[in-house]
Amino acid sequence: MKRMCLILATVVSVMMLSCNPTENDDNTSDDGGNIQEVEKPTVVTKSVEDITETTARVICQVTDDGGAEVIERGVSWNMEGAPGFLTPEGEGLGMYNSYLSSLEANTTYCVRAYAKNSAGISYGEEMIFTTLNRLEEYDGEISGHAYVDLGLSSGLKWATCNIGANNPEDYGDYFAWGETITKTEYRSSNSVTCELSISQLQSQGYVDGGGNLTSSHDAATANWGGTWRLPTKEECQELVDNCTWEWARVNGVGGVKVIGPNGNCIFLPAAGCRYGIMLCDAGIYGRFWSSTPDEYIYDYLTYFLYFYDGGESESRYERYYGMPVRPVSE
């Protein structure tokens, strides 16, 4: 009888052991009693924004946790060819930003998002960006205003700031074409050139024999003196054709970094334009007057340098609009 009880106890013990659930390993999770395989999370490197000389903002998103809690997320970044640095930015699903600082100016970096759960670590797509040149660097001054030599074949020097601006990213003052002082309102009714034909512009001394604005009506010459002037249509086109244009943000201001053939650069803010009393398209479009009126199609329009996040060119606009001026000099 004792032997039978011992056998029975052993059978019961075996049955009890077989009914106990086994512990999950690191690659499984228990979701309401259902055992499921845990995978690495899915993370996306969405974009790199607000690039300056020493900082950048990386926008990322964890879109799938893989079946387990995301215990760490962030970015991995480095100079090209160098070991990566991990910068943690919290945990869990969703969007997140990583603010990189203490970067080197005019340097190329690689960055990618990462996320980690119990199954391991996964990475998003690698993105490459280049920090800006130090915008306070310049090659010289003319009449107290700094310029940069971009290495253009014309030898033209471009100013580092707009008229009325203290920094490269400042919008500065706005001028109607052919006028040398700013106004509070920009309309056709108070423009001195908007309804003049090319022949009238020439006869009244606004345009010289070469078809460009004369110095007495040039906002750059009038306000900065020396050899400063507005760029011609051809000089604007030279900038478009021979430089690399990169959309960037400097101290929160959107615009373009224009990199010359020699690697030097200037920053043009997307300052928009003024119509009536309104400031239009600031932060979206950049418009800068040239000195050249259109004499072929619409002789009441003038060429201007035009850009946005995705393209750059020269175009034409009515002369009564207020636009910023970026001076040039030989």
The DSSP H or E segment spanning 52 is none
* Residue 129: predicted pLDDT: 87
What are 52-78's pLDDT values in tens digits? 878 899 999 999 999 999 999 999 999
* Residue 276: predicted pLDDT: 97
The predicted model scores a pTM of 0.66
* Residue 20: predicted pLDDT: 43
- pLDDT above 90 covers a percentage of the chain that reads 68
Contact 271, 286 (CB under 8 A): yes
When the pLDDT of each residue in the chain is averaged and rounded to a whole number, the result is: 87
- Under the banding of pLDDT at 50, 70 and 90, the label for residue 29 is low
* Residue 35: predicted pLDDT: 65
Distance from C-alpha of 169 to C-alpha of 256, rounded to nearest angstrom: 10
* Residue 174: predicted pLDDT: 98
What are 223-265's pLDDT values in tens digits? 999 999 999 999 999 999 999 998 888 877 899 999 999 989 9
Average pLDDT over residues 268-293: 96
Distance from C-alpha of 77 to C-alpha of 107, rounded to nearest angstrom: 13
The domains located in the chain, with CATH, are: 42-130 (2.60.40.10), 140-329 (no CATH)
- pLDDT above 70 covers a percentage of the chain that reads 86
- Of 104, 123, 277, 69, the residue nearest 185 (C-alpha): 277
Distance from C-alpha of 273 to C-alpha of 292, rounded to nearest angstrom: 18
Task: Among 101-105, 181-185, 264-268, name the most confident range.
Answer: 181-185
Q: 308 pLDDT exceeds 60?
A: yes
Longest distance between any two alpha carbons in the chain, whole Å: 131
Distance from C-alpha of 176 to C-alpha of 293, rounded to nearest angstrom: 13
- Under the banding of pLDDT at 50, 70 and 90, the label for residue 32 is low
